[in-house]
Chain A
Amino acid sequence: MKRLLSKGYLLLLLVMLYAPIIIIAIFSFTESRVLGNWTGFSTELYTSLFSGGVSDRLIDAIQNTFLIALTAATVSTILGTIAAIGINDLRYRKRRAINFVNNIPILNPDIITGISLFLLFVSMGISQGYITVILAHIAFCTPYVVLSIMPRLVQMNPNIYEAALDLGATPMQAMRRVIIPEIRPGMISGFILAFTLSIDDFAVTIFTNGTDGLETLSTFIYADARKGGLTPELRALSTIILVVVLILLVVVNYRSHRQAKRAEEQAKQIKNYSRR
């Protein structure tokens, strides 16, 4: 009885968590214009999504979203890596202070970040559009990249950079050949994190995309939903994004799992050798 209850509770929780997503996925396979009406199985929405059955505005929004996410993730990965290496080199008290400062934007509600950036751009007289959205996304993604690289740097033997210099590497060569390979896993997960954060951001984008009609998926969907009903093709699009994210997640998890396993094996090997 107790087992049944606990299992039932888990099931209920999962259903509540996943029901909205599953419903969207299920209803992406019917033609009905209104969500909730099942008018028979059809892949019409998918076909229409890819054969120009939707407005150019949606296509533009999809393109913008991915372009912005790619740019923002790339730039913030570079900035975040440089920042993390610099922070790691600081002495203890300064390092703690900077880490604290780095965490503030993460804890800061998006809406506040959005408004502040909006005011900043206005007060500096920068006309809003592509550039401001990308700048804003870089601003809120970089702290996450720093956060995902820091643990790798802390684990690293601090002497290996000096060892590379000692063996004749210039600081740049030491960075490229020794430090970057060491922190690469952190950089990759930082990039993926930044990429997904940028894709689903709404609050910051809406404040910084200006009045020239620049739209990303989130702002388009918001506007679309307010104008009498969701474009049905969005159900198909959501499902596709869901599947892509799922695959990404599986890949990332698999990688970290394999790394943990390798580290474990190495530890075992070391033990065996030292026993000899």
Chain B
Amino acid sequence: MVKSNHIIEISNVTKSFPDKVVLDDVSLSVKQGEFLTILGPSGCGKTTLLRLIAGFNSASSGKILIDGKDMTSVPPHERPVNTVFQRYALFPNYNVYDNIAFGLKLKKVDKKEIEQRVKRALKMVGMTDYEHRDVQSLSGGQQQRVAIARAIVNRPQVLLLDEPLAALDLKMRKDMQMELKEMHSSLGITFVYVTHDQEEALTLSDTVVVMNEGVIQQIGSPTDIYNEPCNAFVADFIGESNILNATMIRDGLVEFMGKEFECVDTGFGENVPVDVVVRPEDVYIIRNAEAAMFHGTVRSCIFKGVHYEMFVDTPDGYEIQIQDYNSFEPGTEVGMMIKPADIHVMRKERTENHVEGKLVDATHVEILGEEFECAAVEGIENGATVDVSFGFSDVELTDDPDDGISWGTIRFILYKGDRYHLTVRTDEGDDIFIDTHDVWEDLDEVGIKIRPEAIKVTAITKA
């Protein structure tokens, strides 16, 4: 076997609990010595992935290699990794010194060496002379420093950090970020860092892994992730962005907001529906000039310290977010421009809803756990399993879950300039996608109705 420079290899790991799948076929390689951050909203499976690496949980399927060795049946205390926990997890019955020396004492390291290494670790985290303090008398920031010292004193090959700064205040967090970065370069060991804070991820990492719903969305350097998000979720989660429905007319030309724009993306085909992302700082705003590519009216303008954040309404009903050093009074007519290189085109993950269902009779089909009326079907046997499709705007959501035919919970909301694109997880676990102008909130429970004539049923051809 060729020895790779990957310290951790995660291949096809799935972790499911009785009621849900937390990690779905995740594969990931971590290079020796890199600072890798797993980034995602809460509940995306990032902490579970870290716990699998540490060995606190075992995967339902798949394999994890650390330093080329299969870790499947290796218990946590025999793995060459150490963890820094979100809530420090210091041993309250030991003082600072004994906390840090805990791992070394278990390894029966020579007493003198323990003392030296503990002192060095304390110096590294800026806590010299704290050896004999009771850990519970320390502040949150100090406790986290001790927790880091306790982990690095063992010289692990990989340091795992589970949102280590989440419980600290903003100022302390910024300081610790810098210190962690310095520690990483001076120790030369691999850091795997879990956070939900996108700014933290972009600041600290060599590589960022964006996760959502147990699936890796994108792996890349911070600049790649920011400048070239691979889908609407990543674009929305990392930084601010304008995400719009668009049509790729041909290579280098894309149409959105009813206008054609030059762009630099190619290879999408002709007349293909796509999403475009434009960062707010990439929209140039000027006094209503002839040169502008499109026009609008400033609705609001807020000073954000370095720049002004403005929302501009276009005559076609789109809302564009803009960051600029100049301010424009609300009500001002303005012109806007976007450079071709700043228009980022992404393939659409889907253009309509597809679910599996069962045909009941010629005008009824069972999908999402309920019976829906559908467009007349011919030539398919009743009771057959069928593919059912319907458009994003053919779905109507109701406030009261009981008013709908089926019901679900709103899981993800994406603003698309003139409409919201919602992901609704039904009771049965299917995801359906809806375009709407109505404002809903995350985790709202809603009833689902679908226009009967929009429900198209096709037979599944057995392969």
Contacts and interface: CB of A to CB of B under 8 A. Distances in A.
Contacts of A164: 91, 102
Nearest to A161: B89
B107 A168 contact: yes
B93 A166 contact: no
Contacts of A273: 137-139, 142
B154 interface: yes
A157 B89 CA distance: 6
Contacts of A110: none
A162 interface: yes
A266 B150 CA distance: 22
B75 interface: yes
B284 interface: no
Interface string B60-86: 000000000000000111100111011
A5 interface: no
B138 A159 contact: no
Nearest to A268: B137
Given A266-B136, A269-B137, A270-B137, A162 B82 contact: no
Contact of B91 (A163, A173, A274, A276): A163
Nearest to A156: B92
B91 A160 contact: yes
B99 to A, nearest CB: 9
Interface string B394-423: 000000000000000000000000000000
Given A167-B154, A270-B136, A159 B107 contact: no
Contact of B83 (A163, A170, A178, A266): A163
B103 interface: yes
Contacts of A270: 136-139
B134 A173 contact: no
A24 B160 CA distance: 66
Contacts of A171: 75
A165 interface: yes
B463 interface: no
B244 interface: no
Given A165-B77, A266-B134, A266-B136, A173 B89 contact: no
A273 B83 CA distance: 26
A138 to B, nearest CB: 29
A160 B89 contact: yes
B103 A159 contact: no
| 9 nearest A-B pairs in the assembled complex, by CB-CB distance | A159-B89, A167-B103, A163-B89, A181-B93, A165-B76, A273-B139, A269-B137, A159-B85, A274-B139
Interface string A177-210: 1100110000000000000000000000000000
Interface of B: 54-56, 75-78, 81-83, 85-93, 102-103, 106-107, 134, 136-140, 142, 150-151, 154
Contact of A168 (B91, B103, B139): B103
B218 to A, nearest CB: 29
A91 to B, nearest CB: 10
A264 B142 CA distance: 19
A169 interface: yes
Contacts of B154: 167-168
Of A162, A165, A168, A273, chain B has the most CB atoms within 10 Å of the CB of: A168
B106 A173 contact: yes
Nearest to B138: A273
27 contacts: A157-B89, A159-B87, A160-B90, A160-B91, A160-B92, A162-B89, A165-B55, A165-B75, A166-B76, A166-B81, A166-B83, A167-B103, A167-B151, A167-B154, A168-B103, A168-B106, A169-B77, A169-B102, A169-B106, A177-B102, A178-B91, A178-B93, A181-B93, A182-B92, A270-B136, A273-B137, A276-B139
Given A270-B139, A273-B137, A157 B87 contact: yes
A163 B162 CA distance: 12
The size class of the interface chain A forms with chain B is: 20 to 34
Contacts of A159: 85-87, 89
Contacts of B107: 168
Contacts of B83: 162-163, 166
A169 B56 CA distance: 13
Contacts of B151: 166-167
Nearest to B140: A274
A40 to B, nearest CB: 56
A167 B106 contact: yes
A249 to B, nearest CB: 26
Contacts of B77: 165-170, 174
A171 B86 CA distance: 22
Contacts of B137: 266, 269-270, 273
Nearest to B153: A167
Interface string A16-33: 000000000000000000
Contacts of A160: 89-92
A49 B83 CA distance: 63
Contacts of A269: 137
A255 to B, nearest CB: 16
B62 to A, nearest CB: 21
Contacts of A274: 139-140
A269 B143 CA distance: 13
Most chain A Cβ neighbours within 10 Å, of B90, B107, B137, B138 = B137
Contacts of A168: 77-78, 103, 106-107, 154
A167 B150 contact: yes
Contacts of B150: 163, 167
A113 to B, nearest CB: 36
Contacts of B89: 157, 159-160, 162-163
Contact of A162 (B56, B88, B136): B56
Nearest to B89: A159
A270 to B, nearest CB: 6
Nearest to B102: A167
Contacts of A177: 91, 102
